[in-house]
């Protein structure tokens, strides 16, 4: 037996050497052991393969070959430009995990095993990997790809290229959110109309004193504007200088001021605000603000990632709005005459994280005021047709399923309500489709590499349509390659006949984005960023002329136009940092609203008069890869009119001696506020070698590892650790770890071990786990060794990303080994199962800062194999609610309970706190004491004891019984973060949290807590050899409760809690008890 024990001890030591581990507690049941967590649902099986280039590995699956090759070419094409701007080249090849649609990205298991201190995004960055989904728009897809690549490069530059370096650097270097997200957004997008809209709203309506106070999408856009300002005013070369200096001195403010030669960071921010204020004031003279007759708040800026969709009924009386609402979507209608709003449909957004994208329903009206709602799904999409929307009880007249399309990008409904025109992805390729609403059948209109976006039916037709595309010619079904993909969109016309050889080009690329909005038989209204601000333009099918139809200073987003009646315009607008749906009645887009070009901070007066008189479709075939003549004329007119003595800096030729004299100072700020020489443009690589595809082998890598000191009430002081290994996709996860006691006679003799494997590749998640515990108790007559073994097999079925059901058959055995006794070994063996229903929609906002709800209902039943009298069962509930009150203030509530029954029910022990250091204070008032060990005591039930904590104000085991109920309430106040909104470099102050709390609970054996016949109110005196036996019945309050104050923070890498609590027992207030504990949450 000693050899058997020694062998497992050596196995544990091997795990100890290999792992720097994460906390686990084994044997007994503690609150910290409850596993919640969200789910990743696999609706289909992916067979992964790999393309390799010089700097990237692109992982893809079925039907994604062309998209993967295109992604590799995009990434390599942008590599030199990104590294040139950042002044840094990473050492490792970047791994890109590519998904054909946002819906399929939600099946990813990457990020399941993460550090508590690091977000899922930080883990991906530290491991030089990124996940990206194709959304049907190659222009925005390419920008998102570059955005993620640039962010990864900056992270690698500042924090290091592996997890160890990242964890160490994150303690020493704390940067505001705008710094990294902003530089990545600038590298990907530079200046953009979206940035223009944001800065107009920011400067006019929001007083920004410290950009470091912003986070999320706000921080990214502010950061983009700051880096754009640096590039425009000081030159792009200074971007890499700032990044390199930040890596050395570890403060972004000093890096910026020292590099740019600005006296202070506050002066720099003042100059930054003035720069954009001047641009906005210039624009106000030519552009106007919208005058909405109705507006509706969607939410904060984060909702822009999912956006919202709006449509106007043809009689201009109703609006339909599809919007993200909390973590769901909501479709509602609004009656513009009565002001009545009605929600007609709600459901889950197809996204675990809004930051990864997602899908909300598409909406569209028919001419008969019926509303078509297309709801995206994983394996199929649903089409609903609603009628009687002006009544209190609208009804669904038609429901159709739509399959074989991965992701719907845009949708339009024919006026007669029979047909949908959709831009959709299938196998990583975007094309146009006509869909019969009655049957759900699809007719492909295009089939090639190019994007086909924003389809709109022309007039009353249910076939003929216009659409935007980045294709170079009007010839259809040309496969093409990445060299022929344009970075701008033109507008084309399609007859709606399948296999049509051509789609005539109506408009060449005017600006970057040209999207059809509404088409009649005579006119096409389209959205264009031709002049730097997205506005409406009108194209005449008859005269081939173009006129500007709106001049709003806030660019239009997702506009809808109606020309019937008095006309109407609806669109999304950013106002005071909030996304709103805006409706402007009486809008007639037929007028002319000429404005100057407003691009990259440079304004100049121009008109479309020359463009209006020419047929812009004629030169399309001759010059497919260049801007149309309309855009060329506009570009020529954007130059500033020079005054006497002024120099045209865009066309100035320097003398050779001047160039030589200033060649060495091109990176410094000059007196005139401009760098004398622009940085050279990088040459685009024409020939990119893409190797593969290769099969994915799924090799295991070490991922999550952590270690910490722990205090266990049975084992006392010890060391806990675990290690996690997985393949790159985290479909296979292997975990190992344990606990090692390091005190007194049990030193290295008391330990826990576990080994766990999880297979997450299929719809049902499978797992296997082995636990072994050894408890060494020194006795005068010889040591007692308690052992526990369990083999658990698990099958878990996720219903949604927030709920799942799992079933786990189990074999369990317990041993008591006493060499000094006549019967040295006592054992029990169990066969049983454990079932759990779990719900978790919580979001982690920081260390010990959670928002949302967690719940678990568990039932387990263990049948005694050797003795039926050993059988028992247990049912338990753990409900936790984390309610945000204001900013970072969290009210945390936990309700827990458990009941054990059967022939040998197991006890619960209530009182004290988990991980209580020096928790030797054990109450002897309870009827059952799990900490009692003696020569003639068999305490193998210690392995099944459930510790009901926290109940502060009392010692351990104040109450015990087979049933308990417990409630905890905590008000968590991160004082420093609440009062100061900037970056906090101190790990101690950043995680400092004060708490006010109250706990209440009871535990008993027998009938209810207020019954006379239970362990609380009934006490037996005498017996056991005494000449008398008496039963004493007490009538007392069965509930005990405590209250107090506490503080939590991180010290030397260990998260600790200090609580001071008073207990109230039967209306008597006890002396306060201090608690020093380790761990998070309750």
Cβ(794)–Cβ(809) below 8 Å: no
Kind plus residue range of the DSSP H or E element containing 83: helix 65-86
**Beta strand 803-818 with 784-798: parallel, antiparallel or unpaired?**
antiparallel
With helix as H, strand as E and coil as C, how does 688-719 read?
A: CCCEEEEECCCCCEEEEEEEEEEEECCCEEEE
Closest CA to 863 of 855, 873, 852, 874: 873
Rg (CA), the chain: 34
How far is residue 483 from each of residues 449, 511, 687, 884, 1009, measured CA to CA in Å?
Answer: 11, 19, 10, 50, 77
Instruction: Write down the pTM of the prediction.
Output: 0.80
Strand partners, 794: 767
Domain boundaries, the chain: 1-21+702-840, 175-284, 294-637, 897-1082
Topology at the third CATH level for domain 294-637: Neuraminidase (2.120.10)
Pairing of strands 578-585, 514-519: unpaired
- Which single residue is written with the structure tokens 């496969």? 479
User: Among candidates 940, 959, 939, 941, which has minimal Cα distance to 949?
Assistant: 959
- Containing 920, the helix (H) or strand (E) segment is none
Q: Is the pLDDT of residue 419 over 50?
A: yes
pLDDT at 846 over 90: no
Most confident among 157-161, 281-285, 654-658 (mean pLDDT): 281-285
Provide mean pLDDT across the span 972-977: 90
**Collapsed DSSP state (helix, strand, coil) of residue 508:** coil
* Cβ neighbours for 779, distance < 8 A, ≥ 6 positions apart: 820, 933, 934, 935
Query: Which residues touch 966 (CB under 8 Å, ≥6 apart)?
Result: 894, 895, 896, 897, 910, 948, 951, 999, 1000, 1001
How many Cβ atoms are within 10 Å of 866's Cβ, its own excluded?
Answer: 11
How far are the Cα atoms of 45, 65, 472, 704, 790 from residue 794, in angstroms, in the given order? 20, 35, 54, 22, 13
Contact 590, 538 (CB under 8 A): yes
- The predicted structure's pLDDT at residue 303: 67
Q: Which range is least confidently modeled, 17-26, 996-1005, 1058-1067?
A: 17-26
- Sign of the torsion formed by the C-alpha atoms of 145, 148, 154 and 156: negative
Provide the pairing of β-strand 371-375 with 381-387.
antiparallel
- Return the higher-pLDDT residue of 738 and 644: 738
Helix or strand holding residue 156 (H, E): helix 138-159
Beta-carbon contacts of residue 810 (< 8 Å; ≥ 6 apart): 790, 791, 792, 793, 830, 831, 832, 833, 834, 862
Interval 738-760 mean pLDDT? 86
Q: Nearest CA to 160 among 149, 173, 148?
A: 173
The whole-angstrom separation of Cα 963 and Cα 898 is 6
| Cβ 878 vs Cβ 31: under 8 Å | yes
- Residue 291 CB burial class (10 angstroms; 0-12, 13-18, ≥19): exposed
What is the C-alpha to C-alpha distance for residues 909 and 1004, in angstroms, rounded to an integer?
A: 10
Residue 441 DSSP symbol: -
Rounded-to-integer distance, Cα 309 and Cα 557, Å: 10
Residue among 720, 642, 700 nearest 15 (CA): 720
What is the pLDDT, as a whole number, of residue 486? 87
What's the confidence (pLDDT) of residue 743? Answer: 76
pLDDT single digits (tens) 763-812: 999 999 999 999 988 888 888 899 999 999 999 999 988 899 999 999 99
Q: In the structure, what pLDDT confidence band is assigned to residue 614 with cuts at 50, 70 and 90?
A: very low
DSSP letter at 680 equals P
pLDDT digits (tens, 9 = 90+) for 336-355: 988 899 999 988 775 544 33
- Higher pLDDT residue, 979 or 1018? 979
Give the closest residue to 966 by CA, choosing from 997, 996, 998, 1000.
Answer: 1000
Closest CA to 470 of 657, 627, 260: 627
Q: Band the pLDDT of 647: cuts 50, 70, 90.
A: very low
- Residues 243 and 236: their CA atoms lie apart, in Å, by 12
């Amino acid at each position: 037996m000693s050899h058997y024990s020694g062998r497992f001890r050596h196995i544990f030591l091997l795990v100890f050497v290999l792992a720097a581990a994460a906390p686990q507690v084994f044997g007994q049941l503690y609150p910290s052991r409850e596993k919640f967590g969200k789910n990743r649902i696999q609706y289909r099986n992916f067979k992964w393969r790999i393309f390799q280039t010089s700097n990237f590995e692109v992982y893809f699956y079925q039907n994604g070959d062309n998209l993967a090759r295109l992604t590799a070419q995009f990434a390599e094409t942008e590599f030199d430009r990104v590294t040139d701007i950042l002044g840094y080249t990473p050492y490792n090849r970047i791994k890109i995990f590519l998904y054909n649609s946002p819906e399929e990205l939600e099946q990813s298991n990457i990020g399941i095993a993460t550090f508590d201190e690091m977000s899922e995004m930080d883990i991906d960055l530290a491991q030089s990997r990124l996940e990206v989904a194709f959304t049907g728009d190659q222009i925005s897809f390419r920008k998102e790809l570059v955005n993620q690549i640039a962010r990864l490069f900056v992270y690698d530059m500042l924090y290091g290229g592996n997890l160890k370096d990242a964890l160490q650097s994150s303690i020493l270097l704390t940067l505001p959110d705008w710094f990294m997200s902003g530089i990545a957004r600038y590298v990907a997008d530079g200046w953009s109309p979206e940035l223009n809209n944001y800065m107009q709203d920011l400067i006019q309506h929001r007083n920004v004193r410290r950009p470091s106070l912003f986070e999320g999408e706000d921080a990214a856009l502010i950061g983009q504007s700051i880096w754009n300002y640096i590039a425009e005013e000081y030159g792009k070369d200074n971007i890499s200088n700032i990044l390199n200096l930040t890596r050395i001195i570890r403060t972004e403010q000093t890096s910026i001021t020292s590099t740019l030669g600005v006296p202070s960071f506050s002066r720099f921010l003042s100059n930054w605000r003035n720069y954009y204020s001047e641009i906005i004031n210039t624009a106000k003279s030519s552009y106007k603000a919208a005058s909405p007759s109705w507006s509706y708040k969607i939410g904060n800026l984060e909702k822009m990632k999912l956006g919202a969709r709006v449509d106007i009924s043809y009689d201009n009386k109703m609006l339909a709005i599809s919007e993200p609402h909390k973590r769901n979507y909501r479709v509602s209608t609004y009656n513009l005459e009565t002001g009545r709003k009605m929600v007609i449909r709600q459901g889950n957004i197809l996204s675990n994280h809004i930051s990864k994208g997602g899908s909300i329903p598409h909406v569209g009206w028919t001419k008969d005021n019926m509303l078509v709602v297309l709801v995206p799904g994983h394996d199929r999409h649903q089409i609903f047709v609603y009628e009687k929307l002006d009544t209190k009880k609208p009804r669904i007249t038609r429901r159709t399923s739509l399959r074989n399309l991965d992701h719907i990008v845009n949708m339009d409904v024919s006026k007669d309500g029979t047909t949908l025109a959709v831009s959709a992805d299938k196998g990583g390729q975007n094309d146009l489709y006509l869909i019969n609403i009655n049957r759900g059948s699809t007719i492909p209109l295009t089939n090639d590499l190019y994007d086909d976006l924003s389809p709109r039916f022309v007039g009353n037709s249910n076939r003929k349509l216009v659409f935007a595309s980045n294709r170079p010619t009007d010839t259809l079904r040309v496969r093409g390659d990445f060299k022929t993909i344009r970075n701008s969109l033109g507008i084309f016309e399609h007859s709606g006949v399948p296999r049509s050889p051509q789609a005539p080009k109506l408009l060449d690329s005017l600006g970057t984005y040209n999207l059809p909005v509404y088409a009649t038989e005579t006119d096409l209204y389209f959205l264009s960023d031709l002049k730097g601000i997205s506005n409406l333009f009108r194209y005449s099918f008859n005269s081939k002329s173009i006129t500007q139809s709106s001049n709003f200073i806030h660019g239009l987003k997702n506009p809808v136009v109606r020309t019937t009646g008095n006309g109407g315009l609806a669109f999304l607008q950013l106002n005071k940092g909030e996304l709103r749906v805006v409706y402007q009645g009486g809008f007639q887009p037929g007028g002319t609203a000429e404005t100057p070009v407003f691009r990259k901070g440079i304004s100049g007066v121009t008109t479309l008069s020359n463009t209006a008189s020419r047929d812009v479709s004629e030169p399309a075939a001759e010059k497919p890869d260049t801007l149309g003549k309309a855009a060329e004329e506009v570009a020529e007119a954007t130059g500033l009119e020079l005054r006497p003595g002024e120099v045209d800096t865009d066309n100035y030729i320097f003398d050779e001696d001047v160039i030589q004299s200033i060649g060495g100072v091109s990176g410094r700020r000059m007196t005139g506020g401009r760098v004398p020489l622009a940085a050279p443009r990088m040459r685009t690589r024409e020939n990119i070698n893409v190797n593969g595809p290769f099969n994915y082998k799924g090799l295991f890598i070490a991922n999550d590892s952590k270690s910490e000191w722990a205090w266990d009430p049975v084992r006392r002081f010890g060391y806990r650790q675990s290690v996690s290994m997985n393949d790159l996709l985290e479909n296979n996860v292997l975990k190992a770890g344990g606990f090692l006691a390091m005190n007194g006679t049990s030193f290295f003799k008391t330990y826990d071990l576990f080994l766990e494997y999880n297979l997450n590749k299929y719809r049902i998640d499978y797992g296997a786990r082995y636990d072994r515990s050894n408890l060494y108790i020194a006795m005068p007559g010889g040591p007692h060794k308690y052992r526990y073994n369990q083999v658990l097999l698990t099958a878990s079925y996720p219903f949604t990303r927030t709920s799942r059901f799992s079933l786990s058959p189990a074999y369990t055995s317990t041993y008591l080994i006493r060499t000094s006794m006549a019967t040295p070994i006592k054992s029990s063996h169990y066969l049983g199962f454990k079932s759990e229903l779990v719900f978790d929609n919580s979001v982690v906002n920081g260390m010990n800062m959670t928002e949302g709800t967690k719940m678990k209902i568990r039932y387990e039943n263990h049948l005694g194999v050797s003795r039926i009298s050993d059988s028992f069962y247990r049912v338990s509930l753990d409900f936790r609610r984390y309610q945000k009150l204001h900013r970072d203030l969290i009210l945390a509530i936990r309700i827990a309970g458990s009941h054990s029954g059967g022939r040998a029910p197991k006890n619960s022990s209530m009182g004290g706190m988990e991980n209580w250091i020096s928790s030797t204070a054990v109450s002897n008032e309870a009827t059952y004491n799990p900490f009692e060990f003696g020569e003639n005591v068999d305490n193998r039930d210690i392995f099944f004891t459930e510790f009901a904590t926290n109940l502060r104000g009392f010692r351990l085991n104040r109450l015990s019984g087979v049933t308990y109920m417990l409630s905890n309430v905590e008000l968590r106040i991160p004082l420093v973060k609440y009062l100061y909104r900037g970056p906090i470099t101190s790990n101690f102050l950043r995680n400092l949290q004060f708490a006010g709390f109250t706990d209440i609970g009871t535990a008993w054996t027998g009938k209810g807590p207020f019954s006379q016949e239970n362990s609380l109110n009934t006490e037996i005196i005498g017996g056991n050899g005494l000449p008398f036996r008496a039963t004493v019945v007490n009538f007392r309050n069965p509930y005990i409760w405590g209250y107090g104050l506490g503080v939590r923070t991180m010290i030397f890498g260990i998260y600790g809690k200090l609580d001071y609590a008073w207990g109230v027992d039967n209306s008597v207030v006890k002396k306060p008890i201090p608690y020093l504990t380790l761990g998070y949450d309750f």
